[in-house]
Amino acid sequence: MANVTQSYLTPNEKEILIASGKLDSAQYPQHLAELSGLSVEASVQSAFLLQEKGLVKIIEDIDTNYILTNEGNDYANNHLPERRFIEYINKLDKIPTINELKDQFGPEFVIALGQSRKKNWVQIGEGKVYLNYPLQGPGNDEVLLLQIQANNVIDSLLQIESYQQAINNLIKRNLIEKSEDKTIQIEITESGLDIFNSGITIEEDIAQLTSDLIRTGEWKQKHLRPYNINAPVQPIYGAKLHPYQRLIDEMRQIFLEMGFTEIKGDIIQSSFWNFDALFQPQDHPAREMQDTFHLDGTSDLPEEFTQPVAAMHEHGGDIASKGWGYKWSPDIARMNVLRTHTTAITIKHLADNPKPPVKAFCIDRAYRRETIDPTHTPEFEQLEGVVMDEGMSFADLLGLLMEFYYRMGFEDVRFRPAYFPYTEPSVEPEVYIEGMGWIELGGAGVFRNEVTEPLGIKHPVLAWGLGVSRLAMLRLGLKDLRELYQSDIDWLRKSPVCGD
């Protein structure tokens, strides 16, 4: 605010300006509160108001710390599961099978095997686990885990990209937590010093002229706070849906208008419907603990489909397929998970409705163990759909998706070949955004026979899973996924209901 005079300042603002003017350097709010006699909260509030008027400057400092979770502390004392895993295998006089190691490591088996494969410490072949020699020494994650336990993290290490990745992986595995302590200091500006040096008078400030002040005549002896006639009028915002919810409703309406039926399903799914029914092998990386929320308890397996699915995994069932060539475990299939995709809903719907035609979609939330960053969150919305009918082809799938994206306002759409365990052929739809180029928005394909045959489905199934949040970011012009869930009331008020 230009040409601010002390007549425009509240008594609290004057107190903070006086306290700041008496000091030579930036000060913490606690010190200014002691000098001014105000509470720390009132001091901070007044400081921010003074900053808006250009009379003080607020300096923010963020101190980042890392602490071990209970699980992380246990692993720091007893080594990570993958370290104990390879050391155990190294001591054996034979090459162990997956089932033998599963019995030995129990609940930690999935983590140990998954992390060992991710770090390229082991290989799997013919149901056995082979070590890759020479055995690797302590990795960056193991070094950092011990340093954090000893409260001795070397700051210079955190500037190295490989150690930053290790920190992110430890957070993703819920072994450490990141905490940020924000502190502020308040420093008077040249404009503030000018007012301070001119002398500040503190007196009772009347912000509203009441009938009592007028009747008694006291207003003549009071200091009335000046009104800024140039101040903008308080805007009025009408009630409206959240921008993200409006886009979800728009996508839902498009598919309803295209003749689809919306379906719903449980958030908690068995591994059978979330993975096995989709022909994902039981040692697939997507099942690893760092990607999936595994839950206590189990679910019953569907008797009608269990044996056909098991046979398809083990040797390809009765079709021209080799399967995955391992011993399928019903115990793993019974394990409960938070659904990692809404495909678990659509595949079960197909199994319950194997006769054509089927046109169904599900727009709902899925869950994965992801580190929160500008492009990932542990929970996210997904738009899943299937079409099953006689004579359906890959061309029908591309046409359907192009129609959807056109209706969403994207003029340039293309498809790039891709790979998914349960569709063949597979593609990733992309749309062109000016200034950003081609952006991938999901995956699609035709269900493989290995998926449909065990469920008694005899006709082609077109399937797709689209990233709702990424599409919403493009439509709303956001660069950070977290902004979709922010509680910024100003952003919610100003977001337009209609496009240009």
Q: List the CATH number of the domain containing 31.
A: 1.10.10.10
- 18 with 196: CB under 8 angstroms? yes
Taking residues 368-379, what's their average pLDDT?
76
Taking residues 324-353, what's their average pLDDT?
91
Taking residues 378-397, what's their average pLDDT?
91
Q: List the CATH number of the domain containing 95.
A: 1.10.10
251 and 363 assigned to the same domain = yes
Q: Is residue 170 part of a domain?
A: no
- 38 with 17: CB under 8 angstroms? no
Pairing of the two strands 442-447 and 461-467: antiparallel
Give the position of tokens 């995709």.
Answer: 341
Chain-centroid distance of CA 299 in Å reads 27
277 and 214 assigned to the same domain = no
Please report the sign of the dihedral spanned by the C-alpha atoms of residue 213, residue 217, residue 221, residue 223: positive
15 and 121 assigned to the same domain = no
Does the predicted TM-score (pTM) go above 0.75? no
Closest CA to 468 of 286, 245, 312: 245
486 and 350 assigned to the same domain = yes
24 and 99 assigned to the same domain = no
From the DSSP assignment, how many helices (H) and strands (E) are in the chain?
20, 17
Query: Which residues touch 60 (CB under 8 Å, ≥6 apart)?
Result: 182, 183, 184
Taking residues 376-401, what's their average pLDDT?
90
Is pLDDT above 80 for 61?
yes
Is pLDDT above 70 for 3?
no
Alpha helices in 177-291 (DSSP H): 190-198, 211-216, 243-257, 271-274
Report pLDDT digits (tens) over 147-188.
Answer: 888 887 766 667 788 888 888 888 888 898 888 788 889 999
Structural domain span for residue 20: 6-64+182-224
Report pLDDT digits (tens) over 400-434.
Answer: 999 999 998 888 899 999 988 889 999 999 988 88
Is pLDDT above 90 for 451?
yes
- Among the candidates 170, 194, 224, a domain finishes at 224
Is pLDDT above 90 for 135?
no
300 and 199 assigned to the same domain = no
413 and 488 assigned to the same domain = yes
Cα dihedral: 345, 336, 293, 119 (round 10): -110
Number of separate domains in the chain:
3
Q: Is residue 256 part of a domain?
A: yes
Looking at the chain, the whole-number percentage of residues with pLDDT higher than 90 is 28
Average pLDDT for the chain = 86
253 and 388 assigned to the same domain = yes
Give the pLDDT score at 498.
Answer: 58
Token pair in block for residue 247: 């886009």
The Cα–Cα gap between 125 and 368 comes to: 27
Q: Is residue 29 part of a domain?
A: yes
The DSSP-derived string for 105-120 is HGGGHHHHHHHHHHTT
Report pLDDT digits (tens) over 245-258.
Answer: 888 999 999 999 99
Is pLDDT above 70 for 39?
yes
Backbone torsion region of residue 45, taken as left when φ is above 0, otherwise alpha when ψ lies between -120 and 50, otherwise beta: alpha
Lowest mean per-residue pLDDT among 54-58, 119-123, 433-437, 464-468: 433-437
Alpha helices in 420-481 (DSSP H): 449-452, 468-476
Give the pLDDT score at 214.
Answer: 84
Give the pLDDT score at 317.
Answer: 86
Is pLDDT above 60 for 500?
no
Give the pLDDT score at 286.
Answer: 66
The Cα–Cα gap between 81 and 175 comes to: 12
Label residue 290 by pLDDT band (50, 70, 90).
low
Give the pLDDT score at 22.
Answer: 86
Give the pLDDT score at 395.
Answer: 94
What DSSP designation does 172 have? H
442 and 321 assigned to the same domain = yes
Give the pLDDT score at 230.
Answer: 75
Is pLDDT above 50 for 2?
no
378 and 259 assigned to the same domain = yes
Q: List the CATH number of the domain containing 464.
A: 3.30.930.10
- 343 with 463: CB under 8 angstroms? yes
- Among the candidates 158, 192, 210, a domain finishes at 158
Q: Is residue 174 part of a domain?
A: no
336 and 484 assigned to the same domain = yes
Q: Is residue 99 part of a domain?
A: yes
User: E strands along 294-357, which residues?
Assistant: 294-298, 335-338
Q: Is residue 499 part of a domain?
A: no
Is pLDDT above 60 for 499?
no
Is pLDDT above 80 for 14?
yes
Q: Is residue 83 part of a domain?
A: yes
Local structure of 143: helix, strand or coil: helix
- Among the candidates 195, 224, 253, a domain finishes at 224
Give the pLDDT score at 1.
Answer: 46
27 and 148 assigned to the same domain = no
Is pLDDT above 90 for 140?
no
Q: Is residue 125 part of a domain?
A: yes
Give the pLDDT score at 221.
Answer: 74
Report pLDDT digits (tens) over 184-225.
Answer: 899 999 888 888 888 887 777 777 778 887 888 877 777 777
What DSSP designation does 376 have? B
Report pLDDT digits (tens) over 85-134.
Answer: 989 999 998 999 888 888 888 888 888 888 898 889 988 888 889 999 88
Long-range pairs of 485-492 with CB within 8 A, sequence gap ≥ 24: 485/244, 485/377, 492/242, 492/243
